[in-house]
Structure 1
Amino acid sequence: MSDLLRSFVRALANAFHPKMLWLTFMPFAVASVGWGLILWFFWQTLTGAANGWLDGWALTSAMYRLFDSFGFSSLHAVIAPFLVVVMAIPLIVVTVLLLIATLSMPGVIKLLTRRQYAALEERRGGSWYGSLGHSVVTTVVCLVLLVVTLPLWLIPPFFALIPPLLWGWLTYRVMTYDALALHASVAERKTIVRNARWPLFAIGIVSGLFGSLPTMLWAWSVWLLPLFPVVAAATIWIYAFILVFSALWFAHYCLYALERLRADTARAPALPVQS
């Protein structure tokens, strides 16, 4: 069994542990309350700004006429809220990811250490503040890349390729640091990231694809605005669950890679000392 598949199966087995489910609640609660307050107080402002932007866009009139020709005039009022949600989703996902990295990942590592990696020495090559700084810097870089590549999202096939690549890179960079912060030294972490860059990136991409599934549910809820708050809250929890599962997947892969690295180092013959 490959390391990717082995770590995936182990992560899936751990994902429904009561402790793991509890770790999804903290990011869910913070993100739901925070973004709920933002959207509650600024919803009219945001939708008004979206309407103003749409009114200044020549394609909007053509789109509205198309709706009218099919008898869907009521959709005019939904476009601006839909646009606000589309713009908010990446920010909410990033918020949940950062909360998972800072609040839940330490709990994930502690549980795995106690249950499966108790013999692994803790060399503490990272810290909570290091994780926070690393996550923030990586997120800023990802958001800059997101903005820079936005025009390409309108061009096939880039609209289907860019989001998974960006989220995959972001998840891989954030989760790898946190997965190894407690047990690996700085040198060991760099070695593992260098040797397993592509498998780790693949885990990030798959996690990003999983994360796109609740986005569809969220987008659908905009068409039924009375249900939007309920569906939005449920979707944030689904994001949290998927990211905790991703944290487990990264943790299993990285800690197993660390075990093998130390075993290989221990078996390596010592270099002769020259007199």
Structure 2
Amino acid sequence: MQAVLTAFGRAIVSQLHVRMLLLTVLPFVLSIAIWGVVLWLCLNAMMDWTQAFFIENDGFSTASEVLTWLGLATLKAVVVPLISMWILLPLMIFTALVFVAAMAMPFISRHVGGRHYKGLERRKGGSFLGSLWMSVSSFAVFIVLWLVSLPLSFVLPFMFVAQAALWGWVTYRVMAYDALADFADAEERKAILRKHRWPLLCIGTLSGLLGAAPMLLWLGGAVFLFFLPVFATGAIWLYVLVFVFTGLWFQHYCLQALASYRVEHGAGGPESALPLLDMDEAADAPAASGTPPAALH
């Protein structure tokens, strides 16, 4: 657990670097462009379909009973847009995750590796196609599990736990692969993912909990339809920010694990296991580390 917390602290410092903040711009813009079009063209049609389905299957009375039982009777008037936005939520999150994995993770890998692990050999055991396959296959499994867990969504504590666990698993699968793609060979990657499965899943799950705020913001757009564009934009930006931070967290943890693995197996000198704190990055965010820049030399 100490290694997870150490990587978390380093990820905070790295996230406050101006380059990492700017790294959120492109995935955010692309996600906004795609989902702006999707919501404009499809949201009304989806709400019409949902309303027709509810009318044909007596869904309104069932939804009313469930919401009243949960103490959320005030949401009965917006149950159709709420369910429509809930159905779109996994697709929106996956879009942000894929854009961050494809566009931001290579920069994150170079940023963290170049500043903190300069002596770590790049063995390039991953590939773009491998990353794409990991993303698509993981999301396919996620959709099945998400559908199975839908009944838990009606109980608020379980809703957050189930969502965090599912997204934690997907994020762990996608981010861990990308974090090791440039530096580890195939055998090293398999060994590290096997040995560190639970800490990596812990990082993914904790990151999933961070996604609770943008999830509520996204669903809030269904409650306040007039502010839907603002709420949706804010939710997408927060998800991109969370995924960039998560990428940094995975990158720091995975490279430390890789460096230690090589030392243990005689594939790298002891110095390769020691992360280097870059002075420029520390100067950009002295408050986050709690240490004056001069003491970080």
Normalised by the size of structure 1, how large is the TM-score?
Answer: 0.88
Q: What is aligned with 2:93?
A: 93
Q: What is aligned with 2:120?
A: 120
Distance apart, 1:217 and its partner CA? 2.0
Deviations 1:69-119 (A, max 9, x none): xxx999665221111111111110011111111111001001112211111
Distance apart, 1:135 and its partner CA? 1.2
- C-alpha spacing 1:30/1:76, structure 2 compared with 1 (3 Å): same
- Report SS of the residue matched to 1:266: coil
Aligned pairs for 1:32-111 within 5 A:
32-61=32-61, 78-111=78-111
- C-alpha spacing 1:81/1:246, structure 2 compared with 1 (3 Å): same
Distance apart, 1:63 and its partner CA? 5.4
- Amino acid in the other structure paired with 1:41: L
- C-alpha spacing 1:258/1:50, structure 2 compared with 1 (3 Å): same
- Amino acid in the other structure paired with 1:262: R
- C-alpha spacing 1:217/1:156, structure 2 compared with 1 (3 Å): closer
CA distance, structure 1, for counterparts of residue 158 and residue 217 of structure 2: 22
CA distance, structure 2, for counterparts of residue 232 and residue 188 of structure 1: 40
Q: What is aligned with 2:295?
A: none
Distance apart, 1:259 and its partner CA? 0.6
- C-alpha spacing 1:161/1:230, structure 2 compared with 1 (3 Å): closer
CA distance, structure 2, for counterparts of residue 75 and residue 160 of structure 1: 18
Q: Is the 8 A contact 2:63 2:76 kept in 1?
A: no
Q: What is aligned with 1:185?
A: 185
Q: Percent identity of the aligned residues?
A: 39
Q: What is aligned with 2:283?
A: none
Q: Show structure 2 runs of 5+ residues with no match.
A: 269-297
CA distance, structure 2, for counterparts of residue 246 and residue 152 of structure 1: 26
Deviations 1:141-200 (A, max 9, x none): 111221233345447875443222211110100001000000001111111111110000
CA distance, structure 2, for counterparts of residue 74 and residue 265 of structure 1: 61
Q: What is aligned with 1:3?
A: 3
Deviating more after overlay: 74-83 vs 139-148 = 74-83
**TM-align CA RMSD:** 2.6
Deviating more after overlay: 34-43 vs 243-252 = 34-43
Q: What is aligned with 2:169?
A: 169
- Amino acid in the other structure paired with 2:20: M
Q: Is the 8 A contact 2:53 2:59 kept in 1?
A: no
CA distance, structure 2, for counterparts of residue 264 and residue 74 of structure 1: 59
Q: What is aligned with 2:134?
A: 134
Aligned pairs for 1:175-254 within 5 A:
175-254=175-254
CA distance, structure 2, for counterparts of residue 16 and residue 74 of structure 1: 40
Q: What is aligned with 2:287?
A: none
- C-alpha spacing 1:117/1:225, structure 2 compared with 1 (3 Å): same
- Amino acid in the other structure paired with 1:114: G
- C-alpha spacing 1:158/1:74, structure 2 compared with 1 (3 Å): closer
Deviating more after overlay: 79-88 vs 238-247 = 79-88
- Amino acid in the other structure paired with 1:80: V
- Amino acid in the other structure paired with 1:171: T
CA distance, structure 2, for counterparts of residue 132 and residue 90 of structure 1: 17
Q: Is the 8 A contact 2:82 2:219 kept in 1?
A: yes
Distance apart, 1:65 and its partner CA? 9.2
- Amino acid in the other structure paired with 2:27: P
CA distance, structure 2, for counterparts of residue 62 and residue 133 of structure 1: 40
Q: Is the 8 A contact 2:81 2:223 kept in 1?
A: no
- Report SS of the residue matched to 1:198: helix
- How many residue pairs are counted as aligned between the two chains? 265
CA distance, structure 2, for counterparts of residue 156 and residue 31 of structure 1: 28
Q: What is aligned with 2:144?
A: 144
- C-alpha spacing 1:151/1:134, structure 2 compared with 1 (3 Å): same
- Amino acid in the other structure paired with 2:97: L
Distance apart, 1:66 and its partner CA? 10
CA distance, structure 2, for counterparts of residue 213 and residue 75 of structure 1: 19
